[in-house]
Structure 1
Amino acid sequence: MSEPAPLRVALLGYGFAGKSFHAPLLRTVEGLSLRVVASSRPEDVHADLPEVTVIPSARDAATHPDVDLVVVATPNETHVPLAQAALRAGKHVVVDKPFTITLAEARALASLAQEQGRVLSVFHNRRWDSDFLALKALLADGTLGRVTSVESRFDRFRPEVRQRWREQPVPGAGIWFDLGPHLVDQVLQLFGLPDSVVGLLAAHRDGAAVDDWCQVTLVYPQRHVLLQASMLIAGGMPRFAVHGTRGSWLKHGMDSQADRLIAGELPGAADWGEDASPGRFFVGSSGEARTTATPRGDYRRYYAGVRDAVRGTGHNPVTPMQALAVAAVLEAALQSSREGRACTLGLTSEERSAFSDACDLTGS
């Protein structure tokens, strides 16, 4: 039996996300062929990808007749109209995080994909971080006992406000919409939907026009999960601090894949996804510290899953319902920060059931 033809891919946007993350992964996953890139800077694209067709209009690229899969890696406020155009043209679609800016938009996009009978997936690549995979394994084997509190954080030290859309007062900008989706998606995959959300968002840097610090608590029965991100923390804080009835697990250092991709490296090296900073499990009764294994991470597994879902040989690695749940938490945190109170998720009972049915939770 002959191998199926590669899926022809259009990448919308060749900025930070498109250039550093999507293009390298699309180029190195078997069965995918990057054919079209939407960009207003063809010289930049052709310097890296001389063989692709560059189209200045993202909408034209999204509806290109010689494309099977469209990847939307444009500014957040353009995700919905471009994904809609691609779906209506019969394309399968990947949307970079955040899926949408509002929960209502997420519902509309998910509904359209279902009507069109097309795969719609969201790029939550951090499910394939080495440290997150290590935590999943610890929860699955019960090492920590019943988990009572979790701290999960992404920090940067960028004291100067930069002239880029993510730091300007436009819809979907700010650190909560930039790093929050990663933090939220990981927690929902471990523990499911929270009972309520308490959010604090602030602008701490001189001249900041949008939030550059956030602290959001997801409240569960007998468990609290604290999500944090900042542009003014230079280091030293653990990536994960997880506490349970049998002990605590601390993990310093970030998964290396993002830094290597940003530096221009293509996936595939012998040490790709290896973690140089193993976690430490502190046994509650004795205080003994043990090093814990950290599995190899690999973001390519996301796009391999998308490929298989489109071909009908596998499941969508990140479904619209899972992304809709992330959108509900993002929105609840914004509301909580504005109103100074705990907020519940704006999901229907049917959406809650669908989310639970689609997830194999390891930490509940």
Structure 2
Amino acid sequence: MAKVVQVGIIGFGLSGRYFHTPFLSVNPRFQLAKIASSRPEAVRDFDTSIGWVATPEELFADPEIDLVFVCSPNETHVAYARQALEHGKNVVIEKPFALSEQEAIQLLDVAQQNNLLATAYQNRRWDSDFLTIKRLLDEGALGTLIDYECRYDRFSPVNLQAHSWKEQPAVGRGNLYNLGPHLLDQALHLFGRPDSVQASVRIMRPGSQVHDYFDIKLGYSDKIVRLESNLMMYQNQLRYSLHGTEGSFIKGGLDPQEERLRQNLLPNLPDWGTEPEDRWGTLYRNGGPERIESLPGNYMPFYDNLYDVIVNGATPNVTPADIQQLARVIDLALESSRTGRVIPF
């Protein structure tokens, strides 16, 4: 009989409740055994068969747990992941994986010493728009790519009554650590190690206590790569602008998976991840504009790969080298913004 991986989750907010739990609950190779949360009623409302514990330590102490998802506030990620690894658990860490490259290296070393998996949750590699862009680039539809811009904007004014930890000033808070890892991972996945990093990281929203805007330019000798996010953008349709020697591709809208997960839909529906036609991108070439049907998004391959790594010794989709490289870019982006310099990688 095939092994079923026993899973524990720390935190049952947006990430734990709406991203991981639905995928784990419909994948027969995983058993969601326990959730450590301050909201026991939310756990029971989702599924009464899932065990609830009040503290991460209770979860670590369970010898049956094979894999722990760390979905707690940013500054707790490394400490909880280290404890999990020291208790013999594999770990998946929500963004950010760590608050610095040095922390990331130390945590990855602990995982390696214990022959365990420590990886980062990079679901946006399986967004419909990004999968479509990868296909177009692989097919050479734009010729040689010379300019890549990706935006991830929102209109999120500061709500002082919400008391969200994400809006409280602390090390590791702010949009660079929240949406930044998505944009950076996609670009690094496509183009590899940059030569340099240039960035502006700022506060734009009235009343904000955390940085909510970033503009990062990754230096490559043969192309322009720019990543930008602003939480004060009322019109935030534009996502991707790609320009090559033989064409351009412009794409708006967001992958539909998150909105469907927030509607309590489970990712075992036959049309899961199919993007509405009004979000399809347009390819511009000599023959005129052409609407390009988006490939369906699906985050499940991330979880299938986790199983293969833990049970069959496969290579993780998000490798230690990927994690360290991204953490270094964030460090350099902050240094560049602080000093106004272009920082060599």
Task: Report the AA paired with residue 344 of structure 1.
Answer: P
Match of residue 90, structure 1, among 82, 88, 91: 88
Question: Which position in structure 2 is the counterpart of 1:18?
Answer: 16
Asked if the contact 1:149/1:243 (under 8 Å) is kept, the reply is: yes
Structure 1 segment 59-98 matched on structure 2, within 5 A: 59-98=57-96
CA distance in 1, matches of 2:87, 2:236: 48
Alpha-carbon distance between aligned partners in 2 of 1:344 and 1:311, rounded to the nearest angstrom: 39
Structure 2 equivalent of residue 278 of structure 1: 280
Q: Which residue of 2 aligns with 1:359?
A: none
Q: Which runs of 4+ in 1 moved over 6 A?
A: none
TM-score normalized by the length of structure 2: 0.96
Match of 1:321 in 2: 321
The 3-state SS of whatever aligns with 1:275 is: coil
* Distance in 1, Cα, partners of 2:42 & 2:291: 44
Structure 2 residue identity aligned to 1:113:
A
Q: Which residue of structure 2 aligns with residue 175 of structure 1?
A: 175
Distance 2:213 2:180 in 1: 10
Aligned partner of 1:158 among 145, 156, 159: 156
The two structures have a TM-score, normalised by structure 1, of 0.91
SS at 2:152's partner residue?
Answer: strand
Q: How does 1:111-150 map to 2 (within 5 A)?
A: 111-150=109-148
**Aligned mates of 1:103, 1:97 — CA distance in 2:** 13
SS in 2 for 1:249: strand
Query: What amino acid does structure 2 have at the position aligned with 1:58?
Result: P
Equivalence for 1:192: 192
State the alpha-carbon separation in 1 of the partners of residues 70 and 143 from structure 2.
40
Q: Deviations over 1:27-67 (max 9, x none)?
A: 12220000010012211211112111111111331342120
**What CA distance in whole angstroms lies between the structure 2 residues aligned with 1:226 and 1:168?**
28
Give the structure 2 partner of residue 214 of structure 1. 214
Distance in structure 1 (CA, Å) of the matches to 2:169 and 2:12: 22
Extract unaligned runs of 5+ from structure 2. Answer: none
The residue correspondences of 1:323-342 to structure 2 (distance < 5 A) are 323-342=323-342
C-alpha distance in structure 1 between counterparts of 2:89 and 2:237, whole Å: 43
Output the amino acid matched with 2:212: D
Q: Which residue of 2 aligns with 1:295?
A: 295
AA of the residue aligned to 2:31: S
Distance 1:145 1:272 in 2: 31
1:64 and 1:128 map into 2 onto residues whose CA distance is 32
Contact between 1:62 and 1:82, CA under 8 Å: does it hold in 2?
no
Paired with 1:78 and 1:15, the residues of 2 have a C-alpha distance of: 14
Q: 1:344 to 1:48 in 2, by over 3 A?
A: same
Which whole-Å CA distance do the structure 2 matches of 1:35 and 1:222 have between them?
49
How many aligned positions are there?
341
Structure 1 28/344 Cα, relative in aligned 2: closer, same or farther at 3 Å?
farther
Alignment partners' CA distance in 2, 1:166 and 1:41: 18
Contact kept? 2:151, 2:229, Cα under 8 Å:
yes
Matches within 5 A, 1:235-246: 235=235, 237-246=237-246
Instruction: After TM superposition, give the deviation of residue 5 of structure 1 in Å.
Output: 2.7
Residue number in structure 2 paired with 1:353? none
8 Å CA contact 1:195, 1:219 repeated in 2: yes
One-letter amino acid of the counterpart of residue 122, structure 1? A
By how many angstroms is 1:236 displaced? 5.0
Partners of 1:262 and 1:331 in 2: CA distance? 32
Displacement after TM superposition at 1:89 (Å): 1.0
Runs (5+) with no aligned partner, structure 1: 346-364
Aligned equivalents of 1:215, 1:315: Cα separation in 2: 32
Matched to 1:264, the amino acid is: N
Q: Is 2:42 aligned against 1:44?
A: yes
Q: In structure 1, the residue corresponding to 2:344 is in which secondary structure?
A: coil
- The equivalent residue for 2:4 is 6
Cα distance in 2 between the residues matched to 1:278 and 1:184:
22
- 1:188-224 Cα offsets, whole Å, 9 max, x none, are 0100011111111111111100111111111100211
Deviations 1:135-186 (A, max 9, x none): 1111111111111111101111112334211111012110110000000000
Give the residue type in structure 2 aligned to 1:332: L
Q: CA deviation at 1:287?
A: 6.6
CA drift at 1:315? 2.5
C-alpha distance in structure 1 between counterparts of 2:60 and 2:316, whole Å: 20
CA contact (8 A) 1:203 1:212 kept: yes
Q: Secondary structure at the match of 2:25?
A: helix
- Using the alignment, how far apart are the partners of 2:294 and 2:314 within structure 1? 26
